[in-house]
Each structure stands twice: as structure tokens, then as C-alpha cells.
Homo-oligomer: A and B are copies of this chain.
Amino acid sequence: MKLYETFELEFTGRKLTENWARVDVTAVFTNGDTQVTVSGFYAGDGIYKVRFLPEKTGIYTWKVSGCVEGEGSELCEPVVPGSAGAGTDAGQQADAGTERGQQADAGDGTEEHGRGTGAAASGKTAQTAPAVGRAAVRGQTASFGRTGRGVVRAVGTHFEYEDGTVYKPFGTTIYAMMHQDEELIETTFQTLSSAPFNKVRYCVFPKHYDYNSNEPPYYPFEKDAEGKWDVNRPCVAFWDHFENGIRTLQGMGIETDLILFHPYDRWGFSELETDECLVYLDYLLRRLAAFPSVWWSLANEYDLCRKRTMEDWYLFEEFIAEHDPYRHLMGNHNCIAYYDHSRPLITHCCMQTAWMEKAADWMARYRKPLIYDECCYEGDLPQNWGNLSGFEMVNRFWQANTVGAYCTHGEVFLSGDEILWWAKGGVLKGESPARIGFLRQIMEEIPGPLSPWTEEYLEPEERKWREQGEKMFGHLKKSLSEAELDALTRKDMDFKGHLGEQVFLVYLGRRCNALLPLRLPKDHCYRIDVIDVWNMTRETAATGVSGAVNVKLPGREGMAVMAVEEK
């Protein structure tokens, strides 16, 4: 068992032919005063699995209980757990240290895959193999890819892995990634392995839409006798295949922002009844919740899902919260009407909009991280959501990131092969990914999350002028409507962020300043970097400066200025 790594127990038992979505298998994992109960799932062919994600160091003991329905629908008696059992204590007694991010040698032998040791249930039917076990979990670093830092959490308006490392999402969108043939999926993974993205947004259900018309190789459910999808019979081949995608991405350090529902459908998955949705979610959570890299995106364009009521979404929120012991991130993505991101179970603002100037307001309002998960895509489509220039896609990434919000990429180029990245994956053709990589490198160098920089370190004279202006003309803004005020803001505002007094960043976007007046703290020394976000250059314009600094710029679009404290 490794900290922040999926731990799996496998049992053999009775082969099921009906209703295997919600098998009665439960495991309780105990570590000191922490107790986590997880549900197992039927993995097909008489295999039952229990997955668990250890989130703290120490000694875990577990017990597995329950059974599948017997022939006579009788239930097993749960096994009374021992406090230490048949599990192998594969590691040394772990340090009790609970400090997050603590490093320890991960090379110690650990039980990565627990196989039921045959402690038979005392129940009447013995299809499942209840087990008790014990394992030591030591803090560790990820020696490969994603595993090793734990689930990503919302902390204030930014994200951190469970181990405390700041996570800055640089996502991309490949809605039907897992519904393509193996060769294309392999190409996509190959592309992602050298792309700048650390999150992929994609759907569980196949997608039917423009440029998405192929039949998927698998469907998430089998059909009943009348040819209707039977949510009680999840298609094991689908889920095996699907979770391999998550596993592969996780190995590359890429989070899976999993879209649980969406409206673009010709198969009927968007028309499930509410109780069917819960059965689907239940199986999904049993299988996937123990992957550290998954996020729950309740929907893509929840508001276009005609079959769903608001009560459904609220119910799904609660159901997931109840059935996900690890509290993965949860958001809901809109088309027209923003979801209510203030709801307590919603961890972050997942937004479709190109209203980049609004980020600071929304972050102040929701006090949650904000991801522009859809702000149109780089490409050349006739549809207006799909014809941003590479520059404009990059521009939006910088606008979001500068103030401490985040942005998600997508790419839609009409081309001979009819494979649009945003739909199916494949290879990237656009000009933005390289620049997004350049941005990511800069953002990851900054030793913490940025926040909107609203308080300038003005000279007393400048402050006086500013205040006088506000006093004389501030009332004029009160006469404006919300949209008029917003138009004024868009015309005048800068994108400015900071990390305490360590880093100040101004992104000028389409502005072509030859000069930028920066007003920095007087009691620290700064290095000033001039960054060309498109040409990916970064030059030091000054060192050892503080207070009022006027930075010379080349007078073209796409420039940023960063002041970094010198120590």
C-alpha cells in the first residue's frame, strides 16, 4: 500500500448475470482514529474488487464484508473483523508523521495489490471472499507521473494536491477521447505525453455532435431483453477500457476531469431516469473514486440536459459526496446559465464563458478556484465557439492565469482527416500549445498561487490624484447599468496578479505599451522580466529595483511584465 496510490483487493466469487451494478461488498479501512468505508464492485467473470486510496501514513487495517445476492437472494453474514488479520504487513512500521508531503523511501516493498486470502465468509453463500488485512503506509514522493501527491483539493481560490503541493491546472478538452479506436487513443496519449496539459476534460458517455458521429467501441451498459440500456448491468469491458485511460493519464501526471452527463446524445444516455442515473453513478464511484486523479464534472452544459431538473443536479451532488470517500473536486459546467457555484458541495467554478475580465469578481464572490473550462477553442470552424486564433487562445490563458484563475484549451481545425482534437484527440495542429507550455513553465516557477493585484504601491502624489479622481467622478459609475459598468471595466482594466510581495505580474494582452509604470513595494528588491508570450522570450529588463519602476516595452501585443523578489 502506498500513500496516495490506489490500493486494490480482488476476490473471486459467483459469476453474475443480472444486476451487478451494486454488489453488496463493503470494506472498512482503519488507520488510527480514521475509518473509511468503501464499496466494492463487480469486475466481471466472477471477480469482485475493492479499491481504496490511502491518504495518511500509518498502519491501515481493513475488513471486507458483504456478499453478492445468492441464488435464493440470501445475504452473507458479515465477517467480524480482527484488529490485525490476514493482510501482509509489507512495510515497516510507518513513521507516525502526518506532515503532508513528507518524503520517505518509496522503494520499500509495499503491498500494491491485495488478493483475498481466502478467509471465507461465514455466510451461507461463499461467492465473495471477505478479508481482513493490514498495511503500513509511509509518506512518499511520486517517482513517476501523477501518483504520489494525492487528490487535488480546492484551497481558497487555488488548488493543492493532498500533499500540499500547489497544482495549477493547464487543461485541454477531448470530449470523446475514450470512444475512439485503440490506435487513435494511443496517438492521443502519445501527443499528451509531450503536450503542456495536466488535466483532460472528457466524457464518460459517447458524444453525438458536429464532427463527432462515429460509433464508440464500447457502451457503459449492456442492454436488457427489450434493447433498453440496463444501468444495473454495467458493461465491464467498457469500464475496464475506460479506467485504463484514467490510469494512463495519471501516469503522465494528468488529471481526469470526468464529465458525468452531457446532452449530445443519440443513444439515450442523456435520457436516463433519475434513479437510473444514481445506479450509474454508484458503479462509477465504486470503480473510479480511488483513483487520485479524477475530478467530477457533473455535466458538460448541464443547462442543455433537457431531461434533468435542478433537483437532479442537487441530488447528484449529494449522492456523489456520500459515495466518494475522498471528496474529489466537483464542478458543473454551463452552456448559458452559470451553475450556482456557491453551493457547498461544489468545490470550484467550472465555467463556459469568454468573460475573462470577470475572474477577480467571481473569485471574490465564490471564494473558490475558477477555471475557464470553455472559453472557445483554437481553430477554424464556422461555429463561433471554434475559431480562435492561436494568439487569442494564448491571450485568454494569460488573462486567466495572471489573476490566479485558470483556463482550459481545446482545438478544432477542419482538416482532411476529420479528427478534431476537441472531439477525438489525435495530434495537435494549433499554435497555442507550445505557448501554453511556456506559460505553464512560468506559472510553475512562481512559488505559489497568484491572486488579483488590486492594491498598487502608489507614490503619495499618485495616490492623492487617484483618490481625488475617485471623489470627483466615482459617483458617475453609480449611474451605469451593470453591463455599462462592465464595458467600462473591459476598456480600462489591466490583468494583474501577485504572490504576496514575492511576485507581481502584469499581462498587457492586446495593449501595445512602449512603457509600463510599475509601482512595487519599496522595501524589497526585484528583478524585472519582460515576457513575450507569443514569441516565448523572456528578458531581464532590470535587477535590484524597487518602488516606482518604468519598464520599457516593444509596443506590440502579447507582452507581460513580471517582477520577482530578489533574495
What residues of chain B lie closer than 8 Å to A485, measured between beta carbons? 483
In the complex, what distance in Å separates the CA atom of A358 from the CA atom of B376? 21
Question: How many copies, total?
Answer: 2
Q: Are A384 and B354 in contact (CB under 8 A)?
A: no
Of the residues B336, B391, B481, contact of A488 by C-beta under 8 Å? B336
A494 adjacent to B389 (CB under 8 Å)? no
Name the CB-closest residue of B to A516: B382
CA distance A488 to B517 in the complex (A): 33
Is residue A228 contacting chain B, with contact meaning CB distance below 8 A? Answer: no
Given known contacts A482-B482, A487-B353, A510-B392, A492 and B414 CB-to-CB distance under 8 angstroms: no
Tell me which residues from 485 to 541 in chain A have a Cβ below 8 Å from any Cβ of chain B. Answer: 485-488, 490-494, 508, 510-517
Kindly state whether residue A265 has any CB partner on chain B within 8 Å: no
Does A472 interact with chain B (Cβ within 8 Å)? Answer: yes
Cβ of A480 to closest chain B Cβ, rounded Å: 7
A237 near B: Cβ within 8 Å?
no
A residues 378-397 in Cβ contact with B at 8 Å: 379-382, 384-385, 387-389, 391-392
Given A387-B511, A483-B486, A484-B338, are A491 and B353 neighbors across the interface (CB < 8 Å)?
yes
Least distance between A435 CB and chain B CB atoms (Å): 16
Q: Within 8 Å CB of A483, what residues of B? A: 482-483, 485-486
Measured between beta carbons, the chain B residues less than 8 angstroms from A338 are: 484
Task: Tell me the complex Cα distance, A514–B412, Å.
Answer: 11
| A336 cross-chain contacts in B, Cβ below 8 A | 473, 476-477, 479-480, 488
* A306 in the interface (beta carbon within 8 A): yes
In chain A, positions 321-375 with a C-beta closer than 8 Å to chain B are 335-338, 353-355, 358
Q: How far is the CB of A558 from chain B (nearest CB, A)?
A: 10
Q: Which of A's residues lie within 8 Å of B, judged by CB?
A: 303-304, 306, 335-338, 353-355, 358, 376, 379-382, 384-385, 387-389, 391-392, 413-414, 472-473, 476-477, 479-488, 490-494, 508, 510-517, 550, 553, 555-557
List 18 interface pairs A-B (beta carbons < 8 Å), by A numbering.
A304-B473, A306-B472, A335-B473, A335-B476, A337-B479, A354-B491, A355-B491, A380-B514, A380-B515, A381-B515, A385-B491, A387-B508, A387-B511, A387-B513, A389-B556, A389-B557, A391-B557, A414-B515
